[in-house]
């Protein structure tokens, strides 16, 4: 606890007290549930049902999140650090003079049923659903206090004196611990009525009075239900005189007919006939909340997909809203399969004529000329001359002037187009190396190129 500063006490129960804490470094507020019991080892702490259940059920938007488990080996003290909520349902309705808006009540009950449906799907039932264990923050509801939870698959009988008396199901009151996860739904029906009416449904002073309060409103159960409960008890013979209850509708004149019908299905005597959390979420009473929740999750899914793909634009929110409102508020997304193919190599066209393997001396201005194997390195020039060609290449004399300058010249004069003078050619002479030398060309007055 050295990382946190205790600011005050939020509440106290039989087995623990709740403190408001603040992180010293970042200033974040938390709720600290400090246990009154001490523990011997960390293994004993990890085996606690509450810690195991919270770790198993997280993360869920309607389940209180466990942030950290703080265990002091020296003193044996244990503290559970959780997120901080504003208040519980009991604090919300206590002392109110006006009813809560039914839209808010509907939203709260829908979230409560979602949390229980998540628990029951994971094989856990709460066993202590009551207004004090249901926390709210603005429009968000979260179920808390999992100290009494139990596995759905554990062996019966369970503890008899479980749950708070006002919210205890008849099978818990009349049997020797033979009850199922359906007891949570009876408690939800009692909480539902209390949030609508601002007063408890069955406020019994003791167990006998509790049963009498249930009979006053719901009437006595049928003989078949009593026989089923009688088979699960020892040494208890209960014969209730037939009584017709006042009903729930007279106690909630301002509530809708659908809400009264749902409370009646939740508070059914026979647990086998009692509605489940999954079935209750599909009740017509929650139609508008269910549609809004569906749009919310679709919007979040599209936004998350766009953020992951890195294509979030300033107009993405408007585009998502437009998609959500189309097609009866149903968004269909298609996955695009991208196939990567290797780049094909460009094939070169085959040469039209096969050329012999020869070496070439060329420039960018003159065509390629094959080099004779008899020419030595000293006679090779960057520009080919007539001496570079073998005798078989030019068996006859040239009939026109050569357009190439002499190798010995570093420059040449410009041609004069207007002067027309005869040019005489001489026979090429053979050098000592066996090659032909191009003779000098004389024009007019003997100008040498």
Q: Known catalytic residues?
A: 128
Question: What burial class does residue 434 get, using C-beta atoms within 10 Å of its C-beta: 0-12 exposed, 13-18 middle, 19+ buried?
Answer: exposed
Count of beta carbons in the 10 Å neighbourhood of residue 111: 21
Q: Please name which of 275, 322, 327 lies closest in space to residue 302, comparing C-alpha atoms.
A: 322
Residue 185's φ and ψ, nearest 5 degrees, are: -75, -35
Q: Report whether 56 contacts 119 (CB < 8 A).
A: no
Q: Compute CA distances 20 → 16, 30, 216, 237, whole Å.
A: 13, 6, 42, 49
Residues whose CB is less than 8 angstroms from the CB of residue 28 and which lie 6 or more positions away in sequence, other chains included: 22
**Cα angle vertex 139, ends 134, 140, to 5°?**
50
Alpha-carbon Rg for the chain in angstroms: 49
Instruction: Cite the DSSP H helix spans in 94-178.
Output: 102-121, 170-174
Count of beta carbons in the 10 Å neighbourhood of residue 298: 17
The alpha carbon torsion through 318, 319, 320, 323 (nearest 10 deg) reads 120
Count of beta carbons in the 10 Å neighbourhood of residue 280: 25
Residue 205's φ and ψ, nearest 5 degrees, are: -80, -30
Q: Which residue has the tokens 């039914």?
A: 102
What DSSP state is assigned to residue 274? S
Q: How far apart are CA 181 and CA 277, in angstroms?
A: 10
Distance of CA 61 to the CA centre of its chain: 14
Residues whose CB is less than 8 angstroms from the CB of residue 65 and which lie 6 or more positions away in sequence, other chains included: 54, 58, 59, 82, 83
287-309 vs 316-325: helix crossing angle, rounded to 10: 140
Question: What burial class does residue 383 get, using C-beta atoms within 10 Å of its C-beta: 0-12 exposed, 13-18 middle, 19+ buried?
Answer: middle
Count of beta carbons in the 10 Å neighbourhood of residue 55: 11
């Amino acid at each position: 606890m050295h990382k946190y500063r205790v600011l005050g006490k939020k509440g106290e129960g039989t087995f623990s007290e709740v403190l408001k804490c603040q992180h010293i470094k970042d200033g974040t507020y938390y709720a600290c549930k400090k246990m009154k019991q001490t523990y011997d080892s960390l293994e004993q702490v990890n085996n606690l049902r509450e810690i195991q259940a919270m770790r198993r059920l997280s993360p869920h938007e309607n389940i209180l999140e466990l942030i950290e488990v703080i265990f002091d080996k020296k003193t044996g003290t244990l503290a559970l650090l959780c997120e901080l909520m504003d208040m519980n349902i009991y604090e919300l309705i206590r002392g109110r003079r006006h009813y809560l808006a039914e839209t808010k009540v509907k939203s709260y009950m829908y979230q409560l049923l979602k949390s229980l449906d998540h628990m029951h799907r994971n094989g856990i039932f709460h066993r202590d659903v009551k207004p004090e264990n249901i926390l709210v923050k603005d429009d968000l509801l979260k179920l808390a206090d999992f100290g009494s939870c139990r596995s759905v698959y554990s062996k019966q009988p369970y503890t008899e004196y479980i749950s708070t008396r006002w919210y205890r199901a008849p099978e818990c009151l009349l049997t020797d611990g033979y009850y199922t996860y359906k007891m949570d739904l009876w408690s939800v029906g009692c909480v539902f009525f209390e949030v609508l009416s601002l007063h408890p449904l069955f406020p019994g002073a003791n167990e006998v009075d509790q049963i009498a309060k249930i009979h006053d409103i719901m009437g006595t159960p049928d003989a078949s239900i009593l026989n089923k409960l009688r088979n699960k008890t020892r040494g208890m013979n209960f014969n209730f005189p037939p009584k017709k209850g006042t009903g729930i509708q007279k106690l909630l004149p301002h509530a809708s007919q659908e809400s009264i019908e749902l409370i009646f299905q939740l508070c059914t005597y026979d647990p086998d006939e009692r509605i489940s959390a999954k079935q209750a979420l599909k009740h017509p009473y929650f139609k508008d909340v269910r549609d809004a929740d569906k749009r919310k999750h679709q919007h979040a899914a599209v936004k998350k997909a766009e953020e992951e793909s890195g294509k979030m634009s300033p107009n993405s929110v408007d585009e998502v809203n437009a998609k959500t409102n189309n097609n009866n508020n149903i968004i269909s997304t298609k996955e695009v399969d991208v196939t990567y193919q290797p780049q094909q190599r460009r094939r070169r066209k085959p040469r039209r004529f096969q050329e012999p393997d020869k070496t070439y001396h060329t420039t960018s201005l003159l065509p390629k000329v094959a080099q004779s194997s008899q020419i030595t390195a000293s006679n090779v020039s960057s520009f080919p001359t007539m001496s570079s060609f073998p005798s078989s290449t030019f068996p006859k004399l040239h009939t026109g002037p050569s357009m190439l300058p002499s190798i010995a010249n570093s420059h040449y004069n410009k041609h004069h187009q207007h002067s027309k003078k005869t040019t005489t050619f001489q026979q090429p002479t053979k050098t000592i190396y066996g090659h032909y030398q191009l003779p000098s060309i004389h024009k007019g007055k003997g100008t040498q190129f």
